[in-house]
Amino acid sequence: MTALPARDREPGPQKFREMAGNVGWGILAWVVGIAFFLPVLWMIITAFKPESAAETWPPKFIFSPTLSEFRLVFSGVGPFLTHSVIATVGSTILVLVLGVPASYALSVHPVKHWRDGLFFFISTKMLPIVAVIGPLYVIALKTGLLDSLWLLIILYTAMNLPLAIWMIRSFMLEVPRELLEAARLDGAGRIREMTGVILPVISPGLVSTALICMIFAWNELFLALNLTTTNAATMPMFLISSVPQEGLYIAHLSAAALVASIPVILVGWIAQRSLVRGLSMGAIK
């Protein structure tokens, strides 16, 4: 790493050393990557094991794969899956519906106290939701929202909205001012400015934002566990219910964990760039 002075004198070996160094760093990166992926890989492998091969010592790497645990998982996952999809998609749509105009009012044509507004939204993320869980339960009970998907949609929206506003706002600030001015010269009002100029430009950013909101909503357990039982129980709840009190269950658990995680994993893999774009925005603006 610090062999620089020698490099200038001997260009030949330096080239070689640099190449060897690159290969070394590449191998290290692969080792780190595999180490981080190993638990996920192990989950996938275990999910295809028959239950009897899942709890052995030493762990079995060669076995005849079976889909029996997946069959079992899919036989009971229906309602949970439906609830999760509704809560995730519903809250994400609501986040965008509320977040886009709010971000507009904090960026393009900002309100007078836009700094305070932005700060207020971010600060609500810092209030630990666990602190209000008891009263939240009482409120949900008294409003008849307990164990309903509406409750989850309402709460997941509030959970994701501050971060979403932060992100969407940073995308809106990137809309070239010339475009906005040109639209204004053409006599575009605020609505046309939004639909004709801003929304088309920021649509990749909106996809990023929606993606991140969906990940957090899909994976949320604490609120679901405390505030739902059957009518709105989501995928993380399904996962918990797949752990029995006794007997062999590791293969079944792995299959359930894989089924519960796979939608977000696949979407995240496909949309890696989008994910990076969304997460890094806050630092840039």
By CB under 8 A, the residues from 251 to 280 that bind other proteins are 253-254, 256-258, 260-261, 264-265, 268-269, 272, 275-277, 279-280
Residue 50 binding other proteins, by CB under 8 A:
no
Q: Which is nearer to other proteins, 86 or 129 (CB)?
A: 129
Single out the residue of 25, 200, 230, 244 in contact with other proteins (rule: CB under 8 A): 25
Reported for 78-81, long-range contacts at CB under 8 A and 24+ positions apart, including other chains, are: 79/233, 80/233, 80/234, 80/235, 80/237, 80/238, 81/235, 81/238
Closest of 199, 67, 189, 173 to residue 110, by C-alpha: 173
Number of residues that bind other proteins (CB under 8 A): 116
Q: Could you tell me which stretch among 9-17, 64-72, 201-209, 246-254 binds other proteins (CB under 8 A)?
A: 246-254
- Given candidates 77, 102, 146, 214, which one binds other proteins under the rule CB under 8 A? 102
Binding flags for other proteins, 72-101, as an x/- string (CB under 8 A) = --------------------------xx-x
Which span (10-18, 69-77, 202-210, 237-245) binds other proteins, by CB under 8 A?
A: 237-245
Q: Which of positions 154-213 make contact with other proteins (CB under 8 A)?
A: 154-155, 157-158, 161-163, 165, 169-170, 173-174, 177, 180-181, 190
CA distances from 274 to 29, 103, 205, 215 (A): 22, 19, 8, 13
Query: Nearer to other proteins by C-beta: 143 or 231?
Result: 143
Does residue 16 bind other proteins (CB under 8 A)? no
Max distance between CA atoms of the chain, in angstroms, equals 80
Q: What are phi and psi of 147, to 5 degrees?
A: 60, 35
Give CA–CA dist 156/94, Å, rounded.
Answer: 9
Buried b / exposed e along 87-125 (16+ C-beta atoms within 10 A): bbebbbebbbeebbebbbebbbeeeeeeeebbeebeeee
Question: Rg of the chain's alpha carbons, rounded to an integer?
Answer: 25
Residue-by-residue DSSP string for 68-126: HHHHHHHHHHHHHHHHHHHHHHHHHHHHHHHHHHHHHHTTTS--TTHHHHHHHHHHHHH
Q: What residues numbered 116-155 form the site for other proteins, per CB under 8 A? A: 117-121, 123-139, 154-155
Q: How far is the CB of 226 from other proteins (least distance, A)?
A: 7
Tell me if 42 contacts other proteins by CB under 8 A.
yes
Binds other proteins by CB under 8 A, chosen from 15, 71, 109, 192: 109
Q: Is 23 in the site for other proteins (CB under 8 A)?
A: yes
End-to-end CA, the chain? 34
Q: Could you tell me the smallest distance in angstroms from the CB atom of residue 122 to other proteins?
A: 8
